[in-house]
Structure 1
Amino acid sequence: MPKLNAIHRFPVKGFSPQILDQIELSVGKGLPFDRHWAIENGPGQFEANAPGHVSKKNFLMLAGQADLAGWSTRFDEANQVWTTIAPDGTCLQVDLNDADTHTPLFDHLSRTLADQVRGRLRLVQAGDQAMTDIPDPYPSIINLASVRDLAERTGMPLDPVRFRGNLLIDGLEPWAELDMVGERLVVGEAEIEIRARIRRCVATSINPVTAARDADIPKALFDNFGHMDCGVYVSVERGGVVTVDDTLARK
């Protein structure tokens, strides 16, 4: 029986995940505080007075700034305080809702990333609009069996965090999730519908521990399967609490 193996959310786009045991899903929304904030990389398309979805290229992101994988982070949801530890060991803490606390972090990022920073850094958020790669409020599912199969075919271990999914599941056949678009699943108290396959970009080629570009994941997917998809987007159709080790059942 397939089950929920792990829950990951990424409070600030491009940085490390927060690993949770339980979370409450709401109808028509992504995970609470998942990609709720992003760091704008120089002047871009984001409008604070009329926030909405804009291209990920406006923000610091793994595909453009692979060194971000070397930063570890912690998120205090109650106080909305974000703690970062840079690769050199520097620990910086910011109140995500207080711009006056952000400058030391931005200064350190600018020194670390050097010419990868295009200008002024700014922490932004768009209310209920998550800073995901798509405009739809869809959490993502990663099938761990698919990741293991790809790892065997590439001959190297692949940390599932490469795929930056929210709900990591196990117990399905490898790649079965790709053929389940349109199906509904019950997990814990929630019901979800599989909406679309996820086409993978170069960000998956970055090792989430070492920050090295040590694999070409899109190419490996295409060479082995004729597509570049891994994981699926889902919509929340009935809200409720989901917990690690909950089973997933087709409805």
Structure 2
Amino acid sequence: MMGAVTSLWRHPIKSHGREEVTSTTLIAGQTMPGDRVWAVAHEQSKADGSEWVPCANFNRVSKVPQLMAMRARLDDDSGLVTLDHPNLGDITFDPDSDPAPFLDWVRPIMPSNRAQSKRFVKVPNRGMTDSDFPSVTLCNIASHRAVERQLGMEISPLRWRGNIWLDDLPEWQEFKWMGRDVKIGDAILRPTERTDRCPATNTNPETGLPDADVVSALDSFGHRDFSVRAEVIQGGEILIGSKAELI
């Protein structure tokens, strides 16, 4: 069974925007370069950057739906991040040295009854994925289309906030890959768990407004999962069009 890479996405700041890239070079045991490098800790967070902590410590789309409408761009050389949002305009800043401009910029879309964004957190050599291990998410376009059919409407694949999108596979084929090695381009990945989903996926990535009951659509398949979280076993380059096959 062979698929092909149709798109590659990274999310420099967890839950705050997405960026399409034309290639990526994975590193064994690490997350996708430039993906979830930072997370935005809220006022009640216990995260201190010394180790990975669960997503409840951070502001994210499930609690602040408007975050879904952000786009992001990371300058890999300077470390500067540019975010834009339909209701806020754009901003360029350095999350490591000068977070204050971001905190002022994002405040208008933060619900007043929720803990406000306070600081950036990052952990050496891994992105702040929802998984407790450094993971890369593999998404199947056929599975996405199955969800669309269940909903009776088209939805953006960006709702899933995945890393590597694959086509030319049967729907839900990715769930059969648990514990098996998948070669994608020059890299080898090993899916180890399915990605459980929350109401964040109900939110439209263009508007930041919930407009589809995606979670209930998943329930109709007997699960609330979409995509698989994989460990990078062997690093290597992946390009648009790279082949994906079990080995």
TM interval, short-chain normalised: over 0.9
1:230, 1:128 → 2: CA distance? 26
Where do 1:213-232 residues align within 5 Å?
A: 213-223=210-220, 225-232=221-228
| Contact 2:31–2:126 (8 Å) recurs in 1 | no
Counterpart position of 1:95: 94
User: Is residue 243 of structure 2 the alignment partner of residue 247 of structure 1?
Assistant: yes
Q: Deviations over 1:34-70 (max 9, x none)?
A: 101011111311024xx21212121110111001122
* Equivalent position amino acid for 1:21 in 2: T
| Contact 2:88–2:105 (8 Å) recurs in 1 | no
Counterpart position of 1:12: 13
Q: Summarize the Cα distance change of 1:88–1:35 in structure 2 as closer, same or farther, 3 Å threshold.
A: same
| Contact 1:110–1:117 (8 Å) recurs in 2 | no
1:164, 1:18 → 2: CA distance? 10
* Equivalent position amino acid for 2:33 in 1: P
Where do 1:75-224 residues align within 5 Å?
A: 75-99=74-98, 102-119=99-116, 121-223=118-220
Secondary structure of the residue aligned to 1:169 is strand
User: Is residue 58 of structure 2 the alignment partner of residue 64 of structure 1?
Assistant: no
Q: Deviations over 1:56-112 (max 9, x none)?
A: 12111011100112233221111110112233353221012213xx21221121233
| Contact 1:205–1:213 (8 Å) recurs in 2 | yes
> Shift in Å at residue 114 of structure 1?
4.0
1:96, 1:120 → 2: CA distance? 13
Q: How large is the Cα RMSD of the aligned pairs? A: 1.5
* Equivalent position amino acid for 1:142 in 2: C
Percent sequence identity over matched residues?
Answer: 27
| Contact 1:181–1:194 (8 Å) recurs in 2 | yes
Secondary structure of the residue aligned to 1:115 is coil
Q: Which one is further off, 107-116 or 189-198?
A: 107-116
**For structure 2, which runs of at least 5 residues remain unmatched after alignment?**
none
| Contact 1:43–1:120 (8 Å) recurs in 2 | no
* Equivalent position amino acid for 1:96 in 2: P
Secondary structure of the residue aligned to 1:104 is helix
Give the total of aligned pairs: 246
Q: Which one is further off, 87-96 or 204-213?
A: 87-96
Q: Summarize the Cα distance change of 1:36–1:197 in structure 2 as closer, same or farther, 3 Å threshold.
A: same
**For structure 1, which runs of at least 5 residues remain unmatched after alignment?**
none
User: Is residue 233 of structure 2 the alignment partner of residue 237 of structure 1?
Assistant: yes
| Contact 1:42–1:117 (8 Å) recurs in 2 | no
Secondary structure of the residue aligned to 1:128 is coil
* Equivalent position amino acid for 1:93 in 2: T
2:5, 2:51 → 1: CA distance? 31
* Equivalent position amino acid for 1:232 in 2: V
